[in-house]
Amino acid sequence: MQEGKKVILSIKGTQVNPMGEDNKIELITEGRLYKKDNAYYIEYEESTISGLEDTKTLLVVEDNRVSLERTGAHESRFVFEKGRKYVSYYETPFGSLEMGVFPTKIDFNMDETQGKVDLKYQLDISGRYAGLNELMVSYQEDAPQGLFKF
């Protein structure tokens, strides 16, 4: 991991499939936060809870866009910009899939000690509608006594 400040992350994900069924996950983990050239970087290791074990995630938040890049067992890169669809390939041990994301909400409020990123987006897989997703990542500077408010 890159140098930076140790933070505690709360990661909440919701996926709503085309039939309206939802799947939610929530994960609290350690990560790193650093700032470079007016962008905030959040880096963390995925776990079995997310189904992405052996994968590192890097979230880059800048002016009006958010990038999410995963490396390791599950590789992907998504760019979230309001009003723009982004198409990329999601690499898995079983092969690659064409995936498209079209954001409906990009909201963030960040500083050196705490912050939050909230993304809502439509997901397409191989050109077909696959559902609506939401990803909320909150972070707080690591406190010695383990007292956190998310």
DSSP string, 31-56: EEEEEETTEEEEEEE--TTTT-TTEE
How far is it between the farthest Cα atoms of the chain? 48
Read off the pLDDT of residues 110-130 as tens digits, 9 standing for 90 and up. Answer: 999 999 999 999 999 999 999
Name the token pair of 140.
Answer: 């707080």
Q: DSSP per residue over 81-121, as a string?
A: ETTB-EEEEEEETTEEEEEEEEEEEEEEEE-SSEEEEEEEE
Q: Lowest mean pLDDT: which of 16-25, 41-50, 64-73, 77-86?
A: 41-50
In a domain, 148, yes or no: no
Residue 81 lies in a domain: yes
Q: Domain of 96: which CATH number?
A: 2.40.128.20
**Least confident interval from 1-5, 23-27, 35-39, 74-78:** 1-5
* Domain, as residue range, for 102: 5-139
Q: Decide if 92 is inside a domain.
A: yes
Is 69 a domain residue? yes
49 has a pLDDT exceeding 90: no
Tell me if 144 is assigned to some domain: no
Task: Give pLDDT, residue 139.
Answer: 97
Residue 90 domain-assigned? yes
The mean predicted confidence, pLDDT, of the chain is 89
Is 62 inside any structural domain? yes
Q: What is the pLDDT of residue 1?
A: 46
The percentage of residues in the chain with a pLDDT greater than 90, rounded to a whole number, is 71
> Which has the closest alpha carbon to 88: 58, 60, 62, 125?
125
Q: Which whole number is the average pLDDT over 41-51?
A: 81
Domain count for the chain = 1
For residues 5-26, average pLDDT: 95
Residue 150: inside a domain = no
Span 16-41, average pLDDT: 94
